């Protein structure tokens, strides 16, 4: 089945972007909460650290006790909702699929699963460390902060993009 969807497909990113922008305003209007994701993951990391480091260590830590308290609150429930919403969207649109090594990665680095998983782990480590250092990620700074015209968020957005482009060029554009 090959239906021509070109005009809707071309409009899709703009429509989705507009909807995300409106969502970011509705959450401010209704709940007084900007969009954000990385705080919730830092909160989750505190919960995961409890069995490893001990409850006292986590409770005594300046970051987990003040900035990212491990508990169910607006931020962590928003994270849970994001997972549920994406799962529902994937199932309803029949686009749920298991993926281990994406094609762009495979063309450059081969189909080794451990290599891809190691890169994903290292990348995940870096984005959360970087996001907490900057006090926001592509959601909190990149969308919610930039629409409020925050100096911090525009700085983050531009520096992150330049860093990402440089990394991508080094990883994917250099000769093998």
Partner 1 sequence: MIAFISGNDALLMAVIFGSIFGALLHFGGVTRYNTIVRQFLFQDFTVLKIMFTAIVVGGAAIAILQPMGLVNLHVKPALMPGVIYGALIFGVGMVLYGYCPGTAVAATASGSLHAAFGFLGMIAGGIAYALSYPWITEKLFTWGKLGKISLPEISGVPAPAWVLLLAVVAGVVYWLIETKGPRTTEHEPCGTCCQKEGDH
- Could you tell me if 139 and 37 are in contact, meaning their C-beta atoms sit under 8 angstroms apart? yes
Q: Which of 96, 110, 111, 112 binds partner 1 (CB under 8 A)?
A: 96
List the interface residues with partner 1, window 121-160 (CB under 8 A): 121-160
Q: Which of 59, 90, 110, 112 binds partner 1 (CB under 8 A)?
A: 90
Q: What is the dihedral of CA 149, 154, 157, 161, to 10 degrees?
A: 130
CB of 110 to partner 1, least distance (A): 14
List the interface residues with partner 1, window 4-23 (CB under 8 A): 4-10, 12-14, 16-23
CA-to-CA dists, residue 28 to 31, 33, 43, angstroms: 6, 5, 21
- Could you tell me if 59 and 33 are in contact, meaning their C-beta atoms sit under 8 angstroms apart? no
| 4 vs 175, beta carbon nearer partner 1 | 4
CB of 72 to partner 1, least distance (A): 8
CB of 55 to partner 1, least distance (A): 14
- Nearest alpha-carbon partner for 133 in 39, 24, 34, 48: 39
List the interface residues with partner 1, window 64-83 (CB under 8 A): 64, 67-68, 72-75, 77-83
Tokens of residue 133, six digits: 């250092």
Phi and psi at 154, nearest 5°, equal -65, -35
- Nearest alpha-carbon partner for 21 in 148, 155, 161: 148
Q: Which of 56, 94, 174, 176 binds partner 1 (CB under 8 A)?
A: 94
Q: Which of 51, 56, 95, 176 binds partner 1 (CB under 8 A)?
A: 95
Could you say whether residue 54 binds partner 1 (CB under 8 A)?
no
């Amino acid at each position: 089945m090959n239906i021509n969807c070109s005009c809707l497909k071309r409009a899709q990113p703009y429509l989705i972007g507009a909807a995300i922008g409106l969502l970011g305003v509705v959450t401010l209007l209704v709940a007084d909460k900007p969009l954000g994701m990385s705080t919730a993951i830092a909160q989750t990391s505190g919960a995961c650290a409890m069995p490893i480091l001990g409850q006292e260590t986590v409770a005594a830590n300046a970051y987990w006790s003040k900035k990212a308290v491990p508990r169910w609150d607006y931020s962590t429930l928003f994270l849970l909702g994001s997972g549920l919403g994406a799962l529902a969207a994937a199932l309803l649109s029949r686009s749920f699929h298991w993926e281990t090594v994406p094609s762009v990665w495979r063309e450059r680095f081969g189909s080794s699963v451990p290599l891809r998983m190691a890169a994903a782990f290292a990348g995940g480590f870096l984005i959360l460390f970087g996001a907490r250092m900057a006090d926001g990620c592509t959601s909190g700074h990149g969308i919610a902060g930039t629409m409020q015209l925050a100096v911090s968020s525009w700085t983050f957005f531009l520096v992150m993009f330049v860093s990402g482009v440089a990394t991508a060029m080094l990883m994917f554009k250099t000769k093998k």
